[in-house]
Amino acid sequence: MNIKDYHGIMVFAEQRDGNIMPVSFELLGRGRALADEKEQKLSAAILGSELDEETVNLLIAYGADEVVLVDAPELKKYSTEPYTKALCEIIDQYKPETVFIGATSIGRDLAPRVSARIETGLTADCTTLTIDSESGNLLMTRPAFGGNILATIICPEHRPQMATVRPGVMQKQDLDFERKGKITQLSINLGEADLNIEILEEVIETKSKKKIEEANALIAGGRGLGKAENLNALEILAKELKGMVAGSRAIVDAGWLTAEQQVGQTGKTVRPELYIACGISGAIQHVAGMEDSEFIVAINNNPTASIFETADLGIVADVNKLIPELIKELNA
């Protein structure tokens, strides 16, 4: 392998039922910044069937210079082998230096199979992607050892450099429908050997509850609450602020909240307009999941708690006394 033959950044644009997943636009946002830094091309690869032109053009509006489209009936629904073969052929033809894939259920299945087949490395669940100014290699940072440390991984001898990123970690660019880009349609030969699984039925789980990543205000509890019953006040405050309740890993592990409500490196990455940290010490694993919030309020009875270093407003107080008083003021 001559790594000098590889150029540019490619994002796998995941679609389901003709709708591009938000994480793909987020990856294009980060890919655009890195491509500009390296003065390289940013491309997007999308696989599907009967995808409309307006949907494909969204990838250009979100930052792609070129969209590589494979449109085939066999790709209408995700299936491991056809998608792996198609993406590998795109990579073989285009030779991108870097490939980003969203760490969704589909991405987590697809990315390791592609990396193994094209004989390169893969860094999963990255939280930061930067360029080494000296070597030009991609620096892929991710939590390790249960989220207790951050590890930065490089892939200096193989190409492409591959990384998966969880939804919500990167920020997408503003839509720009004035951007010009190229759409290239490729034909991939998919035979019976590639269709080794038949999808008999697709059952989609319906969730009535909104996700914490979508909330404008989050009231997050930590170990400092003392007991699960004290979450009730946070629920009331969240209702007053038209927000949602979230929490640190400590109270999720204790069973006070579900894993879907956990904020942090091993949970969700959130960017609400208002984030109120209640009894949260501010461990790096938690801060990494909420530090990009618009306005952060920290309430903790420990004046040296590290959460105050991240907060826009810090209040040294007993959270279980302050929150009920705050609710009274809001009601008044």
Domain CATH number, residue 7: 3.40.50.620
> What is residue 206's predicted lDDT score, i.e. its pLDDT?
64
The structure's pTM equals 0.75
Give the CA distances from residue 150 to residues 39, 234, 296, 304, in Å, rounded to whole numbers and listed in that order.
28, 31, 23, 23
- Domain check: are 88 and 230 in the same one? no
Is 292 within the bounds of a domain? yes
User: Going residue by residue through the chain (332 aa), what tens digit of pLDDT does each one get?
Assistant: 788 889 999 999 999 999 999 999 999 999 999 999 999 999 999 999 999 999 999 999 999 999 999 999 889 989 999 999 999 999 999 999 999 999 999 999 999 999 999 999 999 999 899 999 899 999 999 877 766 678 899 999 999 999 999 888 888 899 999 999 999 999 988 877 777 777 777 777 666 568 898 899 999 999 999 999 999 999 999 999 999 999 999 999 999 999 999 999 888 889 999 999 999 999 988 998 899 899 999 999 999 999 999 999 999 999 999 999 999 998 88
Here the CATH number for the domain that contains residue 235 is 3.40.50.1220
- Domain check: are 128 and 28 in the same one? yes
Q: Where among 194, 228, 256 does a domain terminate? A: 194
Is 290 within the bounds of a domain? yes
- The DSSP letter of residue 274 is E
- Domain check: are 276 and 244 in the same one? yes
Given a contact cutoff of 8 angstroms between Cβ atoms, the answer to whether 321 and 224 are in contact is no
- Domain check: are 138 and 31 in the same one? yes
Is 204 within the bounds of a domain? no
Q: Where among 194, 223, 248 does a domain terminate? A: 194
- Domain check: are 62 and 112 in the same one? yes
Interhelix angle 80-94/105-117, rounded to 10 degrees, is 50
> What is residue 148's predicted lDDT score, i.e. its pLDDT?
67
> What is residue 144's predicted lDDT score, i.e. its pLDDT?
77
User: How far, in whole angstroms, is CA 259 from its chain's centroid?
Assistant: 16
| Tally of domains within the chain | 2
Is 36 within the bounds of a domain? yes
What range does the domain containing 226 cover? Answer: 212-331
Given a contact cutoff of 8 angstroms between Cβ atoms, the answer to whether 46 and 71 are in contact is no
> What is residue 208's predicted lDDT score, i.e. its pLDDT?
54
Given a contact cutoff of 8 angstroms between Cβ atoms, the answer to whether 240 and 276 are in contact is no
- Domain check: are 308 and 187 in the same one? no
- Domain check: are 7 and 153 in the same one? yes
Is 205 within the bounds of a domain? no
> What is residue 274's predicted lDDT score, i.e. its pLDDT?
96
> What is residue 331's predicted lDDT score, i.e. its pLDDT?
86
> What is residue 1's predicted lDDT score, i.e. its pLDDT?
73
Q: Where among 194, 228, 254 does a domain terminate? A: 194
